[in-house]
Amino acid sequence: MKRYYNFQIFMQMKFRKQIMLLLLICVVFVTGFASVSGKEGKVNLCKHVYFLQITPINIIFDTDMGNDIDDALALDMLYKYQDEGRINLMGIMLNKDNRYAPEYIDIMNTFYGYPNIPIGILKRRDSLSTRDRNFTTRVCLMEENGKPKYNRTLSDYESLPEAPKLYRKLLSEQPDNSVTIISVGFSTNLAALLRTTADEYSSLNGRELVAKKVKLLSAMAGCFAKDDYAEFNVQMDINAAMEAFAQWPTAIVFSPYELGEVIRYPGSSIENDFDWTKIHPMVDGYKAYSRMPYNRPTWDLTSVLYVMEPDGDFFKKSSRGTVSIDEKGISHFVENEQGKHFYLMTDSEQQKRILNYFINIITRKPRNQ
Ligand SMILES: [Ca+2]
């Protein structure tokens, strides 16, 4: 999928410095051409400077939607990037087995104008991750004038594909080394994907398929500021986190607990910045999740931001190393020149910059509204 972009969107892009250099070379070349060929050459120059053809980033989003509101804000960001043509949101995977989680995602897909983004579900049939604190249920059950408040596209959520199967389908269809996975929940699906074997989509096993197709795993997981803290996403499925991070064949960038914890999305923004609409499933979710107004950490949003703005002045990245998870769910990082793991840090200026960025993108109208 390729689209044309205007100059403003281009200036937000991650490789803009490199592209500007390329443009400069093109301008010099075309100007030289124009000086020879006159008016016709100048017309061509305008055409090529203002319209660039860019390939969007292929993204799969893996979420425990419903446990905390930051998943919904992170998903909002992804729709906005999709609006701008900067990403191809290939699929949304649930690592939370809950009746209303896929229905809420269907409501979000429908509201933002992307009803056909495939959803993969987790069917564990046990108590893990099913707890229902839970804004997804409340939004799904909201009614107006005796009818459901939000439109859906799907009706049968039980028959959605299980996440590892959908991962294999989506990965097999993409070019090599082209997919970024953003994991903002438990590692359950990631570990299960690595354990898959050849099927109708690929003759490769899960680990081989990931090594071939995936470029980066951006994960909100772990804690590196304290040596005795089991971060929630790891703690909820310790065995899966141990296995996934030890076996994952590509680079992993961790956004740890301590990073998002100190960058808090303001409840006042949720209350005041959405006058442009009467209904909004993310805003209703935020209001349902806890007593308003509250400022919530932006953990999951930071893993999205890193993928989209890795060269911006938003983060510091650790040295190359290896993350391991112990039996208590505590994460450990050891520097290692051959390691494939990094973790992110921020200073106070970067924290302010990130918060402004989040408010700006989250409060923006989706293209279809
Ligand atoms: Ca989450």
Residues 135 and 267 placed together within one structural domain of the fold: yes
Residues 290 and 258 placed together within one structural domain of the fold: yes
Q: What is the CATH number of the domain that holds 240?
A: 3.90.245.10
Residues 82 and 37 placed together within one structural domain of the fold: no
At residue 312, the pLDDT reads: 76
With tokens 């050849």, the residue in question is: 198
Domain of 44 in residue numbering reads as 3-52
Cβ contact 226:218 at 8 Å: no
At residue 133, the pLDDT reads: 58
Residues 40 and 145 placed together within one structural domain of the fold: no
Tell me, in angstroms, the distance from the centre of ligand 1 to residue 251's CA.
20
Tell me, in angstroms, the distance from the centre of ligand 1 to residue 261's CA.
13
Tell me, in angstroms, the distance from the centre of ligand 1 to residue 67's CA.
7
Q: What is the pTM of this model?
A: 0.86
Q: What are phi and psi of 246, to 5 degrees?
A: -75, -35
- Given 52, 68, 90, the domain boundary residue is 52
- Given 33, 52, 71, the domain boundary residue is 52
Residues 6 or more apart whose CB falls under 8 angstroms from that of 168 comprise 193, 196, 199, 201, 202, 206, 209
Tell me, in angstroms, the distance from the centre of ligand 1 to residue 82's CA.
20
Tell me, in angstroms, the distance from the centre of ligand 1 to residue 202's CA.
29
Question: How many domains does the structure of the chain reveal?
Answer: 2
321-325 and 331-335 strand pairing = antiparallel
State whether residue 261 is helix, strand or coil.
helix
Tell me, in angstroms, the distance from the centre of ligand 1 to residue 72's CA.
9
Tell me, in angstroms, the distance from the centre of ligand 1 to residue 300's CA.
6
d(CA 296, CA 355): 11
pLDDT digits (tens, 9 = 90+) for 314-336: 999 999 999 999 999 999 999 99
Residues 334 and 349 placed together within one structural domain of the fold: yes
Structure tokens at 93: 């995977």
Q: Is residue 66 part of a domain?
A: yes
Residues 265 and 353 placed together within one structural domain of the fold: yes
At residue 3, the pLDDT reads: 41
Q: Is residue 369 part of a domain?
A: no
Tell me, in angstroms, the distance from the centre of ligand 1 to residue 47's CA.
43
At residue 311, the pLDDT reads: 82
List of the chain residues with pLDDT < 50: 1-15, 17, 20-51, 127-130
Q: Is residue 367 part of a domain?
A: no
Q: How far apart are the first and last CA of the chain?
A: 23
Q: Is residue 188 part of a domain?
A: yes
Tell me, in angstroms, the distance from the centre of ligand 1 to residue 141's CA.
21
* DSSP per-residue letters across 274-302: -TT-S--HHHHHHHHHSSSS--EE-HHHH
Residues 68 and 148 placed together within one structural domain of the fold: yes
Tell me, in angstroms, the distance from the centre of ligand 1 to residue 220's CA.
8
Residues 66 and 45 placed together within one structural domain of the fold: no
Q: Is residue 174 part of a domain?
A: yes
At residue 52, the pLDDT reads: 58
Tell me, in angstroms, the distance from the centre of ligand 1 to residue 16's CA.
30
Tell me, in angstroms, the distance from the centre of ligand 1 to residue 120's CA.
16
Q: Is residue 368 part of a domain?
A: no
Tell me, in angstroms, the distance from the centre of ligand 1 to residue 18's CA.
33
Tell me, in angstroms, the distance from the centre of ligand 1 to residue 279's CA.
23
Q: Is residue 301 part of a domain?
A: yes
At residue 35, the pLDDT reads: 40
Residues 47 and 63 placed together within one structural domain of the fold: no
At residue 30, the pLDDT reads: 43
Cβ contact 97:134 at 8 Å: no
Tell me, in angstroms, the distance from the centre of ligand 1 to residue 196's CA.
24
At residue 125, the pLDDT reads: 54
- Given 11, 31, 52, the domain boundary residue is 52
Tell me, in angstroms, the distance from the centre of ligand 1 to residue 71's CA.
5
| Alpha-carbon distances, residue 254 vs 122, 183, 240 (angstroms) | 23, 10, 16
Residues 9 and 91 placed together within one structural domain of the fold: no
Tell me, in angstroms, the distance from the centre of ligand 1 to residue 185's CA.
4
Q: Is residue 44 part of a domain?
A: yes
Residues 91 and 147 placed together within one structural domain of the fold: yes
Tell me, in angstroms, the distance from the centre of ligand 1 to residue 63's CA.
6
Ion ligand 1 neighbours (CB, 5 A) are 64, 71, 184-185, 300
At residue 131, the pLDDT reads: 55
With tokens 């989706």, the residue in question is: 366
Residues 234 and 284 placed together within one structural domain of the fold: yes
* DSSP per-residue letters across 4-49: EE-HHHHHTSTTHHHHHHHHHHHHHHHHHHHHHHTHHHHHHHHHHH
